[in-house]
Structure 1
């Protein structure tokens, strides 16, 4: 559940808490949570860390995932998710919003907003979802320079380098890039859009000792695998990036259709979160009690008189 202002605030930096979760046995599960409410619901379901997808944030703003949102846009989302849940959050950093100096600005801004980790990808703008065709890749050494810049700028942020090279350069190209990015300072690697279990296993075999992130997005090129299957294939983290957005959008679409068809929401009430459930999720009554417990403001009754000049000398 959320912390109530000032209560149970984590003392360790978000990045350090993210590393601690990765140091434990088992795969780290990171469901997508692009809003404060989504973060609270995911935390209530028992998840200990969250993922923030650039595609979900863009779509929530009514924009396509083509690198159109800004660092400030993303920081607005980070602040609400990190504050609401107090969980460590991995954030999609797209291509870093520019070159090396822009990447350093992004890292500082994301850390200050409350992010625990970021992943940076080796596409060129306009970037695309990793599961679409015709992606254009950056020169691997240019990407390595961005990784090195991110490493230099970060304080505690966990740094993941994503490579989209498997589709166009094959496994050899993806592995070569990943090794270069690790040498440049990445803490982990995210091989995007692998399409078979054997590809996932081969990539893990060829990157021994490196923490790896798997992406389990729907309607993409990757078949459905469970968290346990990814762990058995050698992966330390798995994200479900846009799943919550897809479910929420479908439910809203059905609600609006019902209002138009039925003239009201009466046939959708059983699909809704009740007022009591909402208040429990956001701890409404605890905030209310906190507000009532605060000391009442004392208003001065009169302005003190100024002492006569020179008095007491």
Structure 2
């Protein structure tokens, strides 16, 4: 009720332990706090907060137009409602390495368990689009070092994302991965990997946990959880899956409403009122209110 029971520190400690457990951690992307509650209810291990989803939710393309204030605000809203650890997309850190350092502390204050920082140039673009570019390796490493130095909770996860494969090839991605690990990154996010062999190659190159991005309609083969685990992947995100499902259902519903003049044919596709109230813990709120507000004239 109101806020999740575990503290941010407890969720971060749990996230770090989970990454070291050897079991694949599954983080679907929440597009709002309510969907984060549903992710937890369905038994997943964590919640992902996607920059692409936040941009789309604001009616913007994913090209670095969002601000750290917007990202931290949405991250806080999502993190507060779930007992699961949440990982947030921090793009390029919203500026220079000093900005990346401040981004870490703002996201710590937002209550998330970790963030990822990428090596693209500003303005960045979706990692599965053509035409992106990366900063030089020295600048990319400085971003990671600044983020690691700035965190106050040692269990706050700093993930280093590299988009270098699509720009300079797999060998450069491997070299950057090694330097990011040396710079103190806790988790490696190699973007736009083609298949399981790419992940296995990164697994052999670094000792830190590895993240796989299983986004639809992109450059990566959609690998199942067992295949990812066999390739040595520790965490998988499904960043835009729920938003895409929701938007498709919304579009279908609006078309039906426009054509038929009633939502009656759609009732069997809807979450029932009682299911929504159960997800929102209405009964607990009512009981709490009745126990506290007992004064009668």
| TM-score category of the 2 structures, normalised to the smaller one | over 0.9
Q: Helix, strand or coil: the match of 1:90?
A: strand
* Conservation of the 8 A alpha-carbon contact between 1:217 and 1:243: yes
Q: Which runs of 4+ in 1 moved over 6 A?
A: none
* Unpaired stretches in structure 2, ≥5 consecutive residues: none
* Conservation of the 8 A alpha-carbon contact between 1:65 and 1:129: yes
* Conservation of the 8 A alpha-carbon contact between 2:193 and 2:219: yes
* Unpaired stretches in structure 1, ≥5 consecutive residues: 300-313
Q: 1:306 matched to which residue of 2?
A: none
Structure 1 window deviating more from structure 2 (99-108 vs 21-30): it is: 21-30
Distance 1:11 1:236 in 2: 21
State how many pairs are aligned: 295
* Conservation of the 8 A alpha-carbon contact between 1:131 and 1:193: yes
Question: Post-superposition shift, 1:7?
Answer: 7.0
Q: Helix, strand or coil: the match of 2:66?
A: coil
* Conservation of the 8 A alpha-carbon contact between 1:216 and 1:225: yes
- Give per-residue Cα distances to partners, 1:242-286, cap 9 Å, x unaligned: 000000010111111111101121111111001100000111111
Q: 1:279 matched to which residue of 2?
A: 277
Provide closer, same or farther for how the CA distance between residues 6 and 295 of structure 1 changes in structure 2, counting only shifts above 3 A: farther
- Give per-residue Cα distances to partners, 1:193-232, cap 9 Å, x unaligned: 011222222222222x221111111000111101111110
Q: 2:138 matched to which residue of 1?
A: 141
1:237 paired with 2:235, answer yes
Distance 2:8 2:195 in 1: 41
State the TM-score, normalizing by the size of structure 2: 0.95
Bigger Rg, which one: 1
Q: 1:55 aligns with which of 37, 40, 52?
A: 52
1:237-276 correspondence to structure 2 within 5 Å: 237-276=235-274
Provide closer, same or farther for how the CA distance between residues 7 and 215 of structure 1 changes in structure 2, counting only shifts above 3 A: closer
Provide closer, same or farther for how the CA distance between residues 213 and 295 of structure 1 changes in structure 2, counting only shifts above 3 A: same
Question: Post-superposition shift, 1:11?
Answer: 7.2
Q: Helix, strand or coil: the match of 2:264?
A: coil
Distance 1:18 1:229 in 2: 22
Question: Post-superposition shift, 1:6?
Answer: 6.4
Distance 1:118 1:19 in 2: 13
Q: 2:181 matched to which residue of 1?
A: 182
Distance 1:167 1:131 in 2: 9
